[in-house]
Structure 1
Amino acid sequence: MNLFILPLLLLCAHIMGQTPLSATVGGSVPILCSLPVNPVRVIWMYWQEEESRSILFHWDNNSTQPVADEYKNRCRAFETEFRLGNISIRLDNVTVDDDQKTFWTYVSYLDEQNQNTEKCRQCCKCKLQVSAPYQDLQVTVNSTANSATCTARGGYPQPQVSWTGLNKSSAAKLHLQAAEPSLLQDPTDKTLSVTSSVGVEGLQEVTCHIYNPHSHNSTSRTAQIPGDDQSGIHHLAIALVVPIALIAVAVAVICVWWKRRRVQEVPVVYTGPSSAQ
């Protein structure tokens, strides 16, 4: 589907500065703009970064013009739609460096009567909000240290990390307090790896939650606390030993009583006094 021919999106282009435009690292994003009238011909048009004034796309005299190095071969317009007033462009290969950038467009065109040259400065405004999903979420448990560590990589921006746990004795769900997560930035694509740790004493399982504040996506991973099964077996063994011991004592008492009774029941044979010669 061609996003640039959707009238609804074009109508929204003039107010895009109010809400950041979501973009994904490595992907493409349409930066939309529609003129208030259908021009006869666009004379020149360019998109400019607000902060640095770098040009990311420049159209003049029916051909593209040089742009800033960071935008070379990354932007394209749809010249066949200029006559419809659509001066949108597409930004390719979105990077972390594009996050929070604001772009303006400027254009000069002939009006519908093909008589007057009109100019529109800062016709449309667009702010990018870049994100990347966190991958390979893992939770490992250190039984010796009574702690769990959560790791994930390849995401952007810094995530919100939270922990929940299941109480061992009551099975109640608990919100756990963890130390501030540590971050490591990839030198190539500048995405982030995150590491967070939390104590797990008294828990039977623990869950790490990672929330991306730009994309609003969340992911989680649960790990069982080693030793819970052995603890359960231990408790079961104790529960079984007590009645077994009681049964053994009862059996011993019965045996002693039975032996005594048998002795008492043995008949005594009287042979009388022996005769002496």
Structure 2
Amino acid sequence: MENFLFLTNISLFSVLAPILGQRPQLLHVAVGGSVLIPCSLPGYPHNLKWFYWQEDEYLVFHWDGGKTIPVQNNKYKDRYQVFNSEFSSGNISIRLDNISPEDDQKTFFAYVKFYDEQKKVFKHPEEWCRSMLQVSAPYQDLVLTVNHTTNSATCSARGGYPAAQVSWKGLNRSSDEELDLQDAETFLQPGPTEKTFSFTSSVNITGLKSVTCVVYNPHSNKTITRTEKIDTEEGEQKYLLPIKIIAPVVIIALIAILCVVLQKSIFTGPQDQRKDEEGARESTQPSVPGSPVF
């Protein structure tokens, strides 16, 4: 019966705590790291009778009268650490290890019961140290490329959490005014196993002398950027490159053809010239009337 009442109090308080207006402390933590959920209790005349740590409806750790009570089916087994030697001084903080994106927005709190030495009575159990985890992972391998053929820039990165907020800035070529580019297309791709994100974002760069990709992580409040200059001469060179390659080939081919023609005219020229002269003499000889024609 006592265990039933204990569990009933746990469930009831879990439901009432948000209603009573208890605002959790926000704890920022990186994926793969550890986080200390701090909790310091008052000392004399209040002696600690028992307490437990809980995440939403899941028990994490239970201590009662100087003994650790095993928690069945504990999904946080091997992921937490408490500091037993400091319980007597009121430090019941708990450390959570191996943080993953799945821990994001989870709320932890301690539920505590004291014995009042002066009044010789047990106090009503109450909640302490409600905290919420805000998990983040930095985006990696940020790459920005400029495509002069399509007049566009593309920015990409991977392995971040949560979903990135991607924006673009550009420097106007004629006025040097910094512009917020609004026509970007951004695609987010969740990771298959790590539950992190990758993204690809593209924007038009017509009329710009430089372009900047801005990646903001809303949980860590960190921003990373990458900037590329837009060299119009480089674009023109890319357009002219095929011409520069083809033109010498055409010139060489024309020279070869000319050489063949000249060579042929050198070897065949005198013979053709003699034939032309003989034909000319025959055409100019006068014909004698009555002469037989052979």
Letter of the structure 1 residue corresponding to residue 197 of structure 2? L
**Length-normalised TM-score, structure 1:** 0.69
Cα distance in structure 2, aligned partners of 1:180 and 1:64: 54
1:95/1:204 CA distance change after superposition, 3 Å: same
Show the counterpart of 1:208.
Answer: 213
1:31/1:87 CA distance change after superposition, 3 Å: same
1:200/1:171 CA distance change after superposition, 3 Å: same
Contact map agreement 1:38 1:84 (CA 8 A) in 2: no
Cα distance in structure 2, aligned partners of 1:230 and 1:187: 38
Matches within 5 A, 1:143-154: 143-154=148-159
Q: Does 1:48 align with 2:54?
A: yes
Contact map agreement 1:139 1:150 (CA 8 A) in 2: yes
1:85/1:95 CA distance change after superposition, 3 Å: same
Show the counterpart of 1:90.
Answer: 95
1:145/1:231 CA distance change after superposition, 3 Å: closer
Matches within 5 A, 1:8-19: 17-19=23-25
Matches within 5 A, 1:258-277: none
1:180/1:55 CA distance change after superposition, 3 Å: farther
Contact map agreement 1:16 1:127 (CA 8 A) in 2: no
Show the counterpart of 2:174.
Answer: 169
Cα distance in structure 2, aligned partners of 1:16 and 1:152: 38
1:87/1:39 CA distance change after superposition, 3 Å: farther
1:59 maps to which of 63, 78, 86: 63
Show the counterpart of 1:20.
Answer: 26
Higher Rg: 2
1:75 maps to which of 66, 69, 80: 80
Return 196-205 or 33-42, whichever deviates more: 33-42
Encode CA deviations 1:122-163: one digit per residue, 9 max, x unaligned: 222111111111111111122211111111111111122111
Matches within 5 A, 1:252-263: none
Encode CA deviations 1:67-106: one digit per residue, 9 max, x unaligned: 5553121111111111111111011111111111112211
Q: How much has 1:229 moved relative to structure 2? A: 4.5
Show the counterpart of 2:224.
Answer: 219
Unaligned 5+ runs, structure 1: 1-14, 233-277
**Length-normalised TM-score, structure 2:** 0.65
1:175/1:195 CA distance change after superposition, 3 Å: same
1:134/1:21 CA distance change after superposition, 3 Å: same
Q: How much has 1:200 moved relative to structure 2? A: 0.8
Show the counterpart of 1:127.
Answer: 132
Unaligned 5+ runs, structure 2: 1-20, 238-294
Show the counterpart of 2:280.
Answer: none
Return 166-175 or 113-122, whichever deviates more: 113-122
Give percent identity, aligned residues only. 51
**Alignment RMSD:** 2.6
Cα distance in structure 2, aligned partners of 1:112 and 1:181: 63
Matches within 5 A, 1:241-256: none
Letter of the structure 2 residue corresponding to residue 46 of structure 1? Y
